[in-house]
Amino acid sequence: MEMKESIMESEEYLLHTYNRYQVVFDHGEGVYLYDTEGKKYLDFCAGIAVQALGYGNKKYDTALKSQIDKLLHTSNYFYSEPLREAAKKVIKASGMSRVFFTNSGAEAIEGAIKAARKYAYLKDKKNDHEIIAMRKSFHGRSLGALSVTGNEHYQEPFKPLIGGIKFAQYNDIESVKACLSDRTCAIILETIQGEGGIYPAEDAFIEEIQRICDERDILLILDEIQCGMGRTGTMYAFSQYQVHPDIVTTAKALGCGVPVGAFLLNEKTAKNSLVPGDHGTTYGGNPFVCQAVSTVFDIFEEDHILEHVNEIAPYLEQKLDELVEKYEIIAERRGRGLMQGLEFAEPVAGKIVAKAVENGLILITAGTNVIRFVPPLVIEKEHVDQMAEIFEKILKSM
């Protein structure tokens, strides 16, 4: 079927909640995608920071094919070897104590909210606790996750959302303090804001939040769904700060393509929150997705993925900085590791991304004036050069 015809037929059946680009992808290889007509695209989006290993990784593919032949699903009434292996590896990598596997990042946020509220409830048997979240944050589209997402545009049509949420300004500790009350049970933030424009947490900001949480027995929830799993050069970005979160959410590159997320708890929170009957999932943590998670951690170690990110990230930063210097329309670069953003002085991000697709480059926006660069973690310098060449060609044409 021709690509245009395939798109038209898809639109007959799909609920129109995405304005998709007019491309039908057929397969991927390394850091490239290919559409059904054979056109090649350099991928600097990685399925929104999911495909950390790129496409067609032999170790990953072989492990999943083998698991398909053995066992896909049994439910959480039973154990499985992939579940044990995945749990062990994610706990070791994160430094947390317990894990609950979900089907997505949004579900991980839902679980984190429930754990925080249950922790507070067990202390005083009250249901009026509050959570402090951040403006311009993004935690997901389900009602609980949407309730702590600091974007009125996303929230307005779906109100009333869950109550007891206050919003502070990211990287403004006085704004956080103004939201505190004796009912505050948790503070939730992305270690690096993604959708909100690629803003890393400032050291003083996040470390003062940690001090406040410790002092008041408030739970610190860090959302590492996008910035975790090696993207910033460490397995989880929070390890670059002097913090020890009570709950961490993770997803996206956790499974490198299969739908899996997780929320991780430290020992204190795990022992004083959710118990049997409080939370569950039919598919979460089944043998297939856990085999993917386990294999991802093995490949990260065997192929020295973190070392590679720390080697290639400075080169990406250099190339982006050169663009900032050369073009007045680009205001600044922000980010850490292979999670970078270019902020433009005008709301042209959508137009640039559309032109990039036309020129065989896949990018993603982070708002109307920020281009997000979240490529597979296995990119090489030659791919950075290719991206910069196409990107500059687009800027010149505009």
Task: Tell me which of 3.80.30.20, 3.40.50.1000, 1.10.357.10, 3.40.640.10 is the CATH number of domain 71-302.
Answer: 3.40.640.10
Q: Say if CB 36 and CB 3 are below 8 A apart.
A: yes
**How many Å apart are CA 178 and CA 152, to the nearest integer?**
20
Strand segments (E) across the chain: 25-29, 32-35, 40-43, 98-102, 130-134, 165-168, 184-190, 192-193, 199-200, 219-223, 247-250, 261-265, 330-336, 339-344, 361-362, 364-365, 370-373
Q: Given pLDDT bands bounded at 50, 70 and 90, which one contains residue 265?
A: very high
Q: What is the pLDDT of residues 335-379, one digit of tens each?
A: 999 999 999 999 999 999 999 999 999 999 999 999 999 999 999
67-96 average pLDDT score: 98
Q: Measured between alpha carbons, how far apart are the two ends of the chain, in Å?
A: 34
Model pTM above 0.75: yes
pLDDT > 90? residue 398:
no
SS3 53: coil
Q: Say if CB 96 and CB 89 are below 8 A apart.
A: no
Query: How far is residue 226 CA from its own chain's centroid?
Result: 2
In the Cβ-directed half-sphere of 300, how many Cα atoms lie within 13 Å?
27
Q: What is the pLDDT of residues 44-78, one digit of tens each?
A: 999 999 999 999 999 999 999 999 999 999 999 99
Pairing of strands 247-250, 219-223: parallel
Give the residue extent of every domain in the chain: 3-56+304-397, 71-302
SS3 34: strand
Tokens of 105: 């990042």
Q: Say if CB 145 and CB 249 are below 8 A apart.
A: no
Share of the chain above pLDDT 90, in %: 99
Task: Tell me which of 3.30.200.190, 3.40.50.300, 1.10.357.10, 3.90.1150.10 is the CATH number of domain 3-56+304-397.
Answer: 3.90.1150.10
Q: What is the pLDDT of residues 130-161, one digit of tens each?
A: 999 999 999 999 999 999 999 999 999 999 99
Q: Given pLDDT bands bounded at 50, 70 and 90, which one contains residue 1?
A: confident
Please give the single-letter amino acid code of residue 39: K
Look-up: residue for tokens 């999932």? 281
